[in-house]
Amino acid sequence: MQLQLTPAQQQFRDQVRAFIASDLPLDIREHLRMGHPPRKSDVVTWQRRLHARGWAVPHWPREYGGSQMSDIEKLILQDELFRANAPQPLHFNCTMLGPVLIEFGSDAQKTHWLPRLANLDVWFCQGFSEPGSGSDLASLRTAATRQGDDYIVNGQKIWTSSAHLADWIFALVRTGGGSRKQEGISFLLIDLKTPGITIRPIIGIDGGHHLNEVFFDNVRVPATQLVGVEGEGWKCAKFLLGNERTGIAAVGFSRERLRHARRLAERIMQAGRPMIEDRRLREDIAMLEAETRALEITQWRFFASSAARDDRSGAYASMLKLKGVELQQDISALLARIAGPESLEWRSYEGAADDDWTAATGTRYLFLRAASIYGGSSEVQKEILAKALLG
Ligand SMILES: Cc1cc2nc3c(=O)[nH]c(=O)nc-3n(C[C@H](O)[C@H](O)[C@H](O)COP(=O)(O)OP(=O)(O)OC[C@H]3O[C@@H](n4cnc5c(N)ncnc54)[C@H](O)[C@@H]3O)c2cc1C
């Protein structure tokens, strides 16, 4: 099993580093380094530059604008982006919808959508969850009834991240029944400008507007926007959720934030001495560094072995999601501790000065509480792991 980069992989990593150093705008880098989430314009600008280099959708086949990279190269690229405080390509487009279209979409859908997704000409959001249908996603009730060449959609989605920024939504809808609730679900692409759609903000505990409710009132959707077979959308959903979970681990992000925390602790003075000289703090940082390294090795094992393609891949994805999120939360708590009372003062990072790193500590800490819910809650991941372990 490979735990060290081969010379070719090192060369690739160096190419990525050089590209980021020359092409990532400084203001975006600084904004992220201070702990702020990327703005929409940051993601669009950077994804287009990455795409021009062939790296926005590295895992897609070449014929669709990808580079057909191996899992390891993809991981190297992702880690380098985190390391340099560069935005990641938009997950909804690149790791969620794109692969679903490649696997289940028609030729016309691939030709139309894949180039637009890769270049972020269109921003998609994910319309899966509904009130009462989150962990138990297959119980969803938003209905799509066939009428001539269209579906008429009625119902509600909730917790829809970035719907207020998005152009389109990929949604799971119920088109029929069956003996199992997973049957009769379909996967539709819907233009958010279609009459009958209302988007209502949900303001988070961090004061930020990331989430929304999306209402559908007799929304007419051309049947050509169905992906895959009517009633078999659950296959698309399962395929997509596996990709989502692995991405959420974001080990490279934890590593970068931890490095940032250590640098701050070395610089900030407390009672006349750098904070890092406090033994308790030093021990806590060392413990988090060890845990991050351990998860990094687990991630390498996952991608370097055939596990990424075998039956256990769901359990590995759950393990990475579960532990990856715990680390992100612990590191956000560490940063809030280093910021001290200033992290308690609630200040929105929307509009905070780019060099104001304490503004983001309290808000990021609060926002990351939600990380053990989105992409499948921690309890549900533990259930999946228990089943895999106990059979
Ligand atoms: C910040 C954020 C962003 C999100 N973004 C999106 C998005 O863009 N698109 C989208 O579609 N959804 C999104 N979601 C929704 C997310 O996927 C759901 O919130 C999640 O799946 C949990 O569902 P729920 O909220 O209905 O909670 P429930 O499923 O009702 O869970 C409630 C509690 O019960 C526990 N529980 C449920 N089932 C089990 C079980 N079988 N065993 C043990 N415990 C269980 C859960 O762990 C949880 O603690 C987002 C959520 C958040 C918080």
What is the C-alpha to C-alpha distance for residues 151 and 211, in angstroms, rounded to an integer?
26
Task: Tell me which residues are annotated as active site.
Answer: 244
Q: Which domains does the chain have, with CATH numbers?
A: 7-89 (1.10.540.10), 124-231 (2.40.110.10), 249-390 (1.20.140.10)
Atom of ligand 1 nearest to the CA of 125: 8
- 159 falls in which pLDDT band (50, 70, 90)? very high
* 134 Cβ below 6 A of ligand 1: yes
Which of the two residues, 177 and 23, has the higher pLDDT score?
A: 23
More confident residue, 355 or 319: 319
Nearest to 27 by CA among 15, 41, 47: 41
273 pLDDT above the threshold of 90 = yes
pLDDT at 282 over 70: yes
For 15-50, write each residue's pLDDT tens digit: 999 999 999 999 999 999 988 899 999 999 999 999
Q: To test the ligand 1 pocket, which listed residue (91, 126, 135) has its Cβ within 8 A of the most ligand atoms? A: 135
pLDDT confidence band for 261 (50 / 70 / 90): very high
Strand pairing report for 226-227 and 185-191: antiparallel
Whole-number Å distance between alpha carbons of 98 and 223: 19
Tokens (6 digits) for 5: 């980069």
Residue 2 has pLDDT above 60, yes or no: no
Torsion sign (Cα): 352, 92, 366, 271 = negative
Q: If you take atom 5 of ligand 1, which residue's CA is the nearest one?
A: 161
Question: For 288-335, what is each residue's pLDDT tens digit?
Answer: 999 999 999 888 877 766 555 666 777 888 889 999 999 999 999 999
Q: What pLDDT shows up at residue 204? A: 92
Residue at token pair 């921690």: 378
Q: What is the distance in A from the centroid of ligand 1 to the CA of 92?
A: 17
Beta bridge partners of 222: 150
End-to-end distance of the chain based on CA atoms, in angstroms? 26
Which residue CA neighbors atom 52 of ligand 1 most closely?
A: 374
Mutational test site, ligand 1, from 124, 374, 378, max ligand atoms within 8 Å of CB? 374
Distances (CA, A) of 61 to 55, 68, 69, 367: 12, 5, 8, 35
Q: What is the pLDDT of residues 238-258, one digit of tens each?
A: 999 877 666 668 899 999 999
pTM attached to this predicted model: 0.94
Ligand 1 center from residue 144 Cα (angstroms): 23
Phi/psi at 7 (nearest 5 deg)?
-55, -40
Identify the H or E element spanning 80. helix 71-83
